[in-house]
Chains A and B, each alone.
Chain A
């Protein structure tokens, strides 16, 4: 997909059908100014989001991932977002061990009527990703950094040899 080099980054949004997708729509209908980096994938519920969707997106080079669902206690399916909250929090804390900046991923709740909140979330998150700049992929680690880390590993099965 064509990216406006230097201007846009690749941010993927997973939005639940019932609240946040509606919230984004409300923001659009209200003609609120928003950055255009976000590509939205609509899912039935934040509880449908396998944390691996996000991990795969980031490992494959996306610059940021934003998840948004219904506010807790407002889930269309009663409790999907409660499960999602646990999974997403675990994932967020898992990312740094992989070498991915956890600031590249956030999750939040936006209801269908909260067009302004959506505008704010998108704007803040996009600015946050722009501050981080384009993501590096594992494949593209610089030879210098690779050599530095490799020389620190003395061999053996251990991380901390």
Chain B
């Protein structure tokens, strides 16, 4: 039985006791899957499993507070569920986690670029097949094959958790770990290579086109303040309505700092950005810092206390300045 069929079977069994089960289904075209809310048995057959399941369904869990829901997760998504549990933002008794091994998902922006290089538009995608390590997209009658490794999301290239960290129903064989030690993150390496003033210019360049839609925030499973975000509060007045790089970047700093020690690097902020702004780099940098300082990784241990919610009398890695 395929992973997908096995998932469907387990979901059908559990559905009667659940408000809904959140997963993925086919979207408006062959290249896009979209979140699915299974509320009846007929919906179960719409479920998809594979490289186009790019969204992190954990984002919806806090909105179902008090109701028992199921969620289908990839390994990376499961870390968000764990982090939500760590912070007691959802109740373990009210979530049933379905999962299977994940072989990686695509980054649609990369597929778009590949098609563009072949003189085609992602907006004309007609058919997508993922066969082992190859993705083939047919657009405007022409088929273009691309290695999954070249169009996979960055996170997949360095994936440590192809299998869920926590699951109630894990079906099929576990997916193999990414071979070899994960290489250093290319985004961080590029930013590291810049001078400090160049980085200022970098953010000035990218943030300029931000439209302040807050897709980065709303797609983030850890941004649980939702309707009460300080970005839209007048008291305190953290951000003004001026259309300036200062205000736009300041929001990214708010988002990143509020995720310090909590971000599982699912990449939804950047994937959701309609303007292709590389906002994930800020969180990657913070995660590296958190790891260096506190040897901590978010969303892998339900019992762990996030590092900024605890302290040591003598910190191991903080060298205070002497005057």
What residues make up the interface of A, taking CB atoms closer than 8 Å to B?
Answer: 51-52, 55-56, 59-60, 72-73, 79, 82-83, 85-87, 89-91, 93-94, 96-101, 106, 108, 117, 120-121, 124, 136-139, 141, 145-146, 148-150, 153, 155-160
Contact = CB atoms under 8 A, between A and B. Distances in A.
Contacts of A87: 260, 308
B101 to A, nearest CB: 26
A160 B186 contact: yes
A157 B153 CA distance: 11
A152 B116 CA distance: 20
A58 to B, nearest CB: 10
Q: Which 8 A-B pairs have the closest CB atoms?
A: A99-B200, A160-B190, A82-B311, A159-B187, A99-B199, A157-B109, A149-B201, A97-B285
Given A60-B246, A72-B313, A159-B190, A94 B204 contact: no
A51 B308 CA distance: 12
Contacts, number: 154
A90 B291 CA distance: 11
Interface stretch (B22-30, B36-44, B78-86, B251-259): B251-259
Chain B CB within 10 Å, residue with most, of A55, A86, A106, A124: A86
A99 B203 contact: yes
B196 A159 contact: no
Contact of A90 (B110, B253, B260): B260
Chain A, interface SS category? helix
A106 to B, nearest CB: 6
Contact of B196 (A60, A72, A101, A153): A101
B315 interface: yes
B253 A99 contact: no
B238 interface: yes
A95 to B, nearest CB: 9
Given A101-B196, A145-B201, A146-B204, A156 B113 contact: yes
Interface stretch (B129-137, B160-168, B220-228, B274-282): B274-282
22 contacts: A89-B315, A89-B318, A90-B290, A90-B293, A96-B199, A97-B285, A98-B203, A99-B197, A100-B196, A108-B320, A136-B197, A138-B204, A138-B207, A138-B245, A139-B204, A139-B245, A145-B201, A149-B198, A149-B202, A153-B202, A156-B113, A159-B188
A127 to B, nearest CB: 11
A149 B147 CA distance: 30
Interface string B272-315: 00001010011001100110111000000000000110011101
B205 interface: yes
Given A52-B254, A87-B308, A153-B205, A160 B200 contact: no
Contacts of A141: 197, 200-201, 204
Contacts of B77: none
A145 B198 contact: yes
Contacts of A159: 186-188, 190-191, 202, 278, 281
A72 B210 CA distance: 41
Nearest to B189: A160
A80 to B, nearest CB: 10
Contacts of A146: 201, 204-205
A83 B278 contact: no
Given A117-B323, A137-B246, A141-B204, A99 B186 contact: no
